[in-house]
Amino acid sequence: MARASPLPLRIAQEIRELIRSGRLPVGAHLATQQLADRFGVSRSPVREALQLLADRKVLQLRANRGFFVRPPRASAAGHAAPGPDMAERSGVYRRFADDWLDDRIADEVTEQFLRARYRLTKAQLTDLLMRAVREGWVERKAGYGWRLLPVAKTPEAFEQIYRLRMLIEPAAMLEPGFRIDRAVLAEQRRIQEEMLACGAAGMAAERLVLDGSLFHEAMIGMTGNPFFVRALQQANRMRRLLEYRARIDRRRVITQCTEHLQIISLLERGELAEASQLMRRHLGGALARKAPRTRR
């Protein structure tokens, strides 16, 4: 089988992240056009990503029906098991990120070095690097090896990302092309209310960060302007590197969900100016809260 190109690989990793976080449950149908709209791409790389995940037994392709999320693969003894080395690869990814954030590895590395340092197979290393590429802090060098990028590595860069968001997200709601999508608002209300109901207790940090990112991407997506959407998606990918290891204040998550619901309510009433103002205050509060905690 020909090796997949970078774009389908990144989309496949995004879909796997949604599955792991529970946003795409077992049995969920994955519609190609909806995913293309979510990621701001054409259907062709999405179809390639879905086939890639089907080949890896993450999805099931049903004749004349499309792709569906499979149950976790079973072990030989018949017990449900996650994908190969999923927990271990998650832990290795954290170590890799922490090593870079704490300057324990150089800004240019080889695959041989990474495999030896983290004791990975070639396939595991590919997954590790593709996740880092997707989150915006690793890129392949033109020649041999990989380059680690300083995006969102410092509190200054983290603040710059939030300053960008404070400019584009409130402004997007005032764009002439902004159209309220009540189905999107209803789905985001369901997610936020679900998080409030459980108080975010027991939810993994990765899922809390991902749910927050998806809320903001859903809001800006109603502009119908792919440039707004892609700018925010890239900013979100870059900040995850520090967000994942920041201490999660679960009490603040409740406040965050409450503010998200207030924004949804304003949009449902068509009060765009008020929603825009609240979005800016919301992001400003998040910056003030998170920036001091981005370094240990």
The domain that holds 188 is classified in CATH as: 1.20.120.530
Residue 210: is its pLDDT beyond 60? yes
Q: Between the ranges 14-18, 196-200, 228-232, where is the mean pLDDT highest?
A: 228-232
Residue 90: is its pLDDT beyond 80? no
**pLDDT value of residue 275:** 98
pLDDT class for 59, splitting at 50, 70, 90? very high
Backbone φ, ψ for residue 85 (5° rounding): 60, 25
CA dihedral 72, 76, 78, 80 (to 10 degrees): -20
Mean pLDDT of all residues in 109-136: 88
**pLDDT value of residue 106:** 94
pTM: predicted TM-score of the whole model, two decimal places: 0.64
CATH number of the domain where residue 12 is located:
1.10.10.10
> Are the C-beta atoms of 263 and 115 separated by less than 8 Å?
no
Residue 84: is its pLDDT beyond 50? no
Between 90 and 20, residue with greater pLDDT: 20
Q: Is residue 119 part of a domain?
A: yes
Weakest-pLDDT range from 37-41, 45-49, 164-168: 37-41
Give the residue numbers spanning the domain of 32.
6-69
pLDDT in tens, 16-37: 877 876 678 888 899 998 888 7
Q: Are residues 184 and 246 in the same domain?
A: yes
Quote the number of domains for the chain. 3
Q: Are residues 168 and 273 in the same domain?
A: yes
**pLDDT value of residue 33:** 87
Query: Coil, strand or helix: which one is 146?
Result: strand
Between 2 and 241, residue with greater pLDDT: 241
Q: Is residue 75 part of a domain?
A: no
Q: Are residues 192 and 275 in the same domain?
A: yes
Q: Are residues 112 and 92 in the same domain?
A: yes
Crossing angle of helices 182-198 and 205-221, in 10° steps, is 160
Between 275 and 55, residue with greater pLDDT: 275
Q: Are residues 162 and 144 in the same domain?
A: no
Q: Is residue 79 part of a domain?
A: no
CB atoms within 10 A of CB 81: 13
Can you tell me the distance from the alpha carbon of 139 to that of 268, in angstroms, rounded to the nearest whole number?
41
Mean pLDDT of all residues in 215-232: 91
Q: Is residue 78 part of a domain?
A: no
Between 201 and 177, residue with greater pLDDT: 177
Residue type, 212: G
Between 215 and 14, residue with greater pLDDT: 215
**pLDDT value of residue 244:** 61
Structure tokens given for 232: 């925010």
**pLDDT value of residue 295:** 43
Residue 122: is its pLDDT beyond 70? yes
Can you tell me the distance from the alpha carbon of 9 to that of 262, in angstroms, rounded to the nearest whole number?
36
Question: If you compute the radius of gyration of the chain from its CA atoms, what whole number of angstroms results?
Answer: 19
**pLDDT value of residue 271:** 98
Residue showing tokens 């995004």: 14
pLDDT in tens, 145-183: 999 987 767 778 788 889 999 999 999 999 999 999 998
**pLDDT value of residue 220:** 94
% of residues, the chain, pLDDT over 90: 33
**pLDDT value of residue 248:** 58
**pLDDT value of residue 2:** 46
Between 201 and 145, residue with greater pLDDT: 145
> Are the C-beta atoms of 217 and 229 separated by less than 8 Å?
yes
